[in-house]
């Protein structure tokens, strides 16, 4: 097969005037795209780099592709991750990962929380405001709270001071998010003190748990762990990744069930990674989901987790492709040779 790859590189935006230090955080590096291309080649297919701008349309018309491996983040607004998949649907081109509806929905954290909650998945209490003038102390969940831009990922808009302990701090942080994240709504959420577990889910009909990994500080800093921009950027020094995490079986089973329920009710396809927190009473909370999880061979959580489970980067890529091929019923019948 000839497999195209759609993506946005940080370097595509080098002439952009950056409004925040994390403006390009969600975009990929050439290294990630090359690693995906190498995995595709190793499977015996041809890899064609398509990029993520308007040129994708012409390239798709000219290349005889069987499938597109899509990791494009898109640009502008909360439906940005849906842009390339919507275009691929228009062009009748099969592609990996979730469809436009799922990608647009899940980039909006509050919409996602409404959906998972209605399917019985526990998620911290929250509210969304569009302006600081809407803040009223009466209708807030109990402090501490965390303040986030409503439609971001890769810890954009999340810093160590995103956790707020009183109304004054809350107001300052809401103003900071509103000012710096292109006027998007602000999500104010109950801050869950406790352990953080990220979960990978892979496949369709039925999907399976790929693995779970605890993410926390290497050293006891006495501060609550927040996987903030500062912490992610300095992960080698600051972060300890434990996979599998040491969890009581009851808690592990609960989180697995919640992860599969979230994947299912959001109609995810092929793969996703999602975050959970566990409080001191062992209640588990769904925080958010990434149906286009980072696939950097070096620093993406899903890949760190897979490697700790003995699964190579190339096998994760292979698994995503095999699942997409099966969904569309294209290509030769695939016998999985991935190691999981």
Site residues (vs ligand ATP, CB under 6 A): 124, 146, 148, 152-156, 158, 189-192, 196, 225-227, 275, 277, 287-288, 290
- Which of ligand ATP, Mg ion, none is residue 152 near (CB under 5 to 8 Å by kind)? ligand ATP
- Which of ligand ATP, Mg ion, none is residue 72 near (CB under 5 to 8 Å by kind)? none
Give yes or no for a contact between 316 and 154, defined as CB atoms under 8 angstroms apart.
Answer: no
- How many C-beta atoms surround the C-beta of residue 43 within 10 A? 18
Query: Cis before residue 125, ω within 30 degrees of 0?
Result: no
d(CA 274, CA 293): 9
To the nearest 10 degrees (0 to 180), the angle between helices 301-308 and 313-328 is 110
Identity of the residue, 128 or 146, whose beta carbon is nearer to ligand ATP in the bound complex: 146
Identity of the residue, 72 or 229, whose beta carbon is nearer to Mg ion in the bound complex: 229
Identity of the residue, 81 or 275, whose beta carbon is nearer to Mg ion in the bound complex: 275
The residue at minimum Cβ distance from Mg ion is 275
The token pair that represents 25 in the structure block = 């955080």
The token pair that represents 104 in the structure block = 């647009």
Site for Mg ion in 243-282 (CB under 5 A): 275
d(CA 319, CA 338): 7
Identity of the residue, 26 or 322, whose beta carbon is nearer to Mg ion in the bound complex: 26
**Least spacing, CB of residue 305 vs ligand ATP, in Å:** 12
Identity of the residue, 288 or 322, whose beta carbon is nearer to Mg ion in the bound complex: 288
Sign of the CA dihedral with 26 first, then 227, 278, and 255 last: positive
**Least spacing, CB of residue 202 vs ligand ATP, in Å:** 17
The answer to whether residue 214 forms part of the interface with Mg ion (CB under 5 A) is no
Identity of the residue, 8 or 106, whose beta carbon is nearer to Mg ion in the bound complex: 106
Query: Cis before residue 158, ω within 30 degrees of 0?
Result: no
Order of strands across the sheet that contains 46-51: 46-51, 2-6, 67-70
Using CA atoms of 312, 287, 240, 316 in order, give the dihedral in degrees to the nearest 10: 0
Task: Output DSSP code: residue 155.
Answer: T
**Least spacing, CB of residue 307 vs Mg ion, in Å:** 19
d(CA 41, CA 48): 10
The answer to whether residue 189 forms part of the interface with Mg ion (CB under 5 A) is no
- Which of ligand ATP, Mg ion, none is residue 319 near (CB under 5 to 8 Å by kind)? none
**Least spacing, CB of residue 157 vs ligand ATP, in Å:** 7
The answer to whether residue 81 forms part of the interface with Mg ion (CB under 5 A) is no
**Least spacing, CB of residue 272 vs ligand ATP, in Å:** 11
Residues within the interface to Mg ion (CB under 5 A): 275
């Amino acid at each position: 097969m000839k497999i195209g790859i759609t993506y946005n590189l940080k370097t595509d935006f080098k002439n952009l005037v950056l409004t925040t230090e994390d403006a390009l955080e969600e975009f990929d590096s050439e290294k990630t795209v090359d690693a995906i291309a190498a995995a595709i080649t190793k499977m015996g297919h041809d890899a064609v780099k398509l990029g993520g701008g308007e040129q994708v349309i012409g390239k798709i018309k000219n290349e005889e592709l069987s499938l597109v491996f899509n990791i494009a983040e898109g640009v502008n607004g909360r439906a940005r991750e849906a842009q390339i998949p919507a275009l691929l649907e228009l062009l009748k081109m099969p592609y990996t990962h979730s469809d436009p509806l799922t990608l647009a929905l899940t980039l909006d954290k509050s919409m996602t929380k409404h959906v998972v909650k209605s399917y019985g998945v526990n998620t911290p209490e929250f509210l969304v405001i569009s302006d600081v003038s809407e803040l009223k102390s009466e209708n807030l969940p109990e402090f501490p709270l965390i303040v986030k831009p409503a439609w971001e990922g890769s810890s954009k808009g999340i810093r160590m001071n995103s956790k707020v302990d009183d109304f004054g701090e809350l107001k300052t942080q809401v103003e900071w998010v509103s000012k710096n994240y292109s006027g998007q709504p602000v999500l104010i959420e109950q801050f869950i003190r406790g352990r953080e577990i990220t979960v990978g889910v892979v496949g369709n009909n039925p999907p399976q748990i790929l693995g779970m990994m605890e993410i926390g500080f290497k050293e006891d800093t006495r501060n609550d762990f927040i996987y903030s921009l500062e912490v992610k950027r300095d992960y080698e020094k600051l972060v300890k990744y434990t996979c599998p995490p040491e969890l009581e079986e009851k808690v592990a089973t609960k989180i697995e069930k919640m992860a599969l329920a979230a994947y299912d009710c959001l109609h995810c396809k092929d793969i996703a990674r999602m975050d959970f927190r566990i409080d001191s009473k062992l209640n588990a909370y769904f925080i958010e989901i990434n149906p286009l999880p980072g696939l950097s061979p070096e620093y993406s959580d899903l890949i760190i987790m897979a490697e700790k489970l003995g699964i190579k980067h190339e096998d994760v890529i292979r698994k995503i492709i095999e699942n997409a091929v099966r969904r569309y019923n294209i290509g030769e019948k695939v016998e999985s040779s991935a190691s999981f």
